[in-house]
Amino acid sequence: MTAKEKTPASLPHIGILGGGQLGRMLLQAAANYPVIVHVLENEEECPAAHLCHHFTRGDIRDFDSVYNFGKSLDAITIEIENVNVEALEKLETEGVKIYPRPSVLRTIKNKILQKEYYREHQIPTAGFIVTHNLGELEKALDFLPAVHKIGEGGYDGKGVQLLRTKEELSKGFEAPAVLEKMVFIQTEIAQMVAINEKGETALYPPVEMLFDPDLNLLDYQLCPAELSTQALYRVEAIALSVVRNFKSPGIFAVEMFVDKNGDVLVNETAPRVHNSGHHTIEAHYCSQFDMLWRIMLGYPLGNTDAILPSIMVNIIGAEGFSGEVHYQGLEEVLKIDNAFVHLYGKKQTKPGRKMGHVTILSKEKQDLLHKSNKVKRTLLPKT
């Protein structure tokens, strides 16, 4: 018996590839809609496992696992790009809707193809060349200072290497990669864009991202980003151009740099719900997760306006603690006005692991900064 036969035939069956925190928050939003949700994930104790209607254990990178999971479903979405695109392409030809379309995943999964896509569509992005090995990199001395980015398999800053001097060239990748001109960054921002089957779009206010320089992980993020009106228009126009040219419904996070001259350059795009949209759960009328269900189920796009300005703090595994997690400071943080705690249900903590996030709402930026620092100091995943 297929999964579809087990439940009322009238409800759509939609699958999520990956069962991490993004899948978990998608499932929290799905609970409000008439939909049966399936999750494919290797790890049975993953954050999304107990919230879905049907859990399938399997590798999202494996053709047969993805194909067999998807063939009886109406639609599939992803929470991570590192999935088997060939299986999704076959499923698409057989009539399964994929959000985003597999052609988009193919472009985005590979940083070389992604940068070529921006160039092809005249989307502003840092100048780059492609290198295939260290020998080729050695010859690119006049391109420094630059950033070397591995074509496939990098994530959360792994697979990205700053190269300032000739001596540092040996830190580059012995694999197909992009060598990108170093941008003198003033602000890093992310613009979430939703686009439905009809091509209608909705934009969230851009957020400003601040990174932990040691871990290269997102530290906290402020919404709305502080941008001049001119920069805001540019950001919105560029993000729309990135998304429209993909010709795919879905939700997208377009990450951009505003450089010291005020120019806006696209860094990279995530064709899915994203860390930079977590705050939309409480701070916006329609969250990024709710929005994706609206798109996949054919309902009208939601209201992206902010209810209040917000800040989002990632709760990251504390240095020196590995093992079963115990949260220090949870009660203290829950006492803070308008602080919303999300713990992802991961049993094990380790240094640098994303364990949860906290969103804080306030009219005052100073209040947001003050409270976010308190949260960061207080709520600690330890053992």
Of the pair 183, 325, the CB lying nearest ligand ADP is at 183
Site for ligand ADP in 231-290 (CB under 6 A): 267-268
In DSSP terms, which residues pair with 341 in a beta bridge? 358
**Residue 201 in tokens:** 């779009």
Of the pair 149, 234, the CB lying nearest ligand ADP is at 149
> How far apart, in whole angstroms, are the C-alpha atoms of residue 258 and residue 239?
13
- The count of chain residues that interact with ligand ADP, using the rule CB under 6 A, is 17
For 241-294, the DSSP string reads HHHHHHT--EEEEEEEEEETTS-EEEEEEESS--GGGTTHHHHBSS-HHHHHHH
Applying CB under 6 A, among 182, 306, 330, 369 the residue interacting with ligand ADP is 182
The interface region with ligand ADP, picked from 75-83, 166-174, 181-189, 223-231 by CB under 6 A, is 181-189
One-letter identity of residue 190: A
> How far apart, in whole angstroms, are the C-alpha atoms of residue 279 and residue 183?
27
Site string for ligand ADP, 96-135 (x = CB under 6 A): ------------------------------x---------
237 phi/psi in degrees, rounded to 5 = -65, -40
Site for ligand ADP in 2-41 (CB under 6 A): none
> How far apart, in whole angstroms, are the C-alpha atoms of residue 194 and residue 335?
34
Of the pair 178, 368, the CB lying nearest ligand ADP is at 178
Pick from 201, 195, 237, 203: which is nearest to 99 by CA? 195
The interface region with ligand ADP, picked from 101-109, 151-159, 235-243, 321-329 by CB under 6 A, is 151-159
Applying CB under 6 A, among 64, 156, 200, 226 the residue interacting with ligand ADP is 156
Closest separation between CB of residue 34 and ligand ADP, Å?
A: 36
> How far apart, in whole angstroms, are the C-alpha atoms of residue 323 and residue 281?
29
Closest separation between CB of residue 263 and ligand ADP, Å?
A: 12
At a CB cut-off of 8 Å and minimum separation 6, what does 134 contact?
A: 169, 170, 172, 173, 174
Of the pair 58, 159, the CB lying nearest ligand ADP is at 159
Applying CB under 6 A, among 22, 29, 105, 147 the residue interacting with ligand ADP is 147
**What is the DSSP pairing of strand 217-223 with strand 207-212?**
antiparallel
Closest separation between CB of residue 290 and ligand ADP, Å?
A: 25
- By CB under 6 A, is residue 352 in contact with ligand ADP? no
- By CB under 6 A, is residue 81 in contact with ligand ADP? no
**Residue 298 in tokens:** 């054919």
Of the pair 196, 269, the CB lying nearest ligand ADP is at 269
> How far apart, in whole angstroms, are the C-alpha atoms of residue 309 and residue 364?
8
The interface region with ligand ADP, picked from 21-29, 178-186, 232-240, 371-379 by CB under 6 A, is 178-186
Of the pair 180, 236, the CB lying nearest ligand ADP is at 180
Site string for ligand ADP, 190-229 (x = CB under 6 A): ---------------------x------------------
First to last CA, the chain: 43
Applying CB under 6 A, among 74, 180, 208, 282 the residue interacting with ligand ADP is 180
Of the pair 31, 185, the CB lying nearest ligand ADP is at 185
Applying CB under 6 A, among 88, 137, 163, 183 the residue interacting with ligand ADP is 183
The interface region with ligand ADP, picked from 24-32, 130-138, 176-184, 197-205 by CB under 6 A, is 176-184
The answer to whether the beta carbons of residues 318 and 340 sit under 8 Å apart is no
322 phi/psi in degrees, rounded to 5 = -135, 130
DSSP 204: P
Of the pair 181, 382, the CB lying nearest ligand ADP is at 181
Separation in Å, CA 89 to CA 12, 41, 99, 245: 20, 19, 12, 19
> How far apart, in whole angstroms, are the C-alpha atoms of residue 334 and residue 341?
7
Residues that bind ligand ADP (CB under 6 A): 126, 147, 149, 154-157, 159-160, 180, 182-183, 185, 188, 211, 267-268
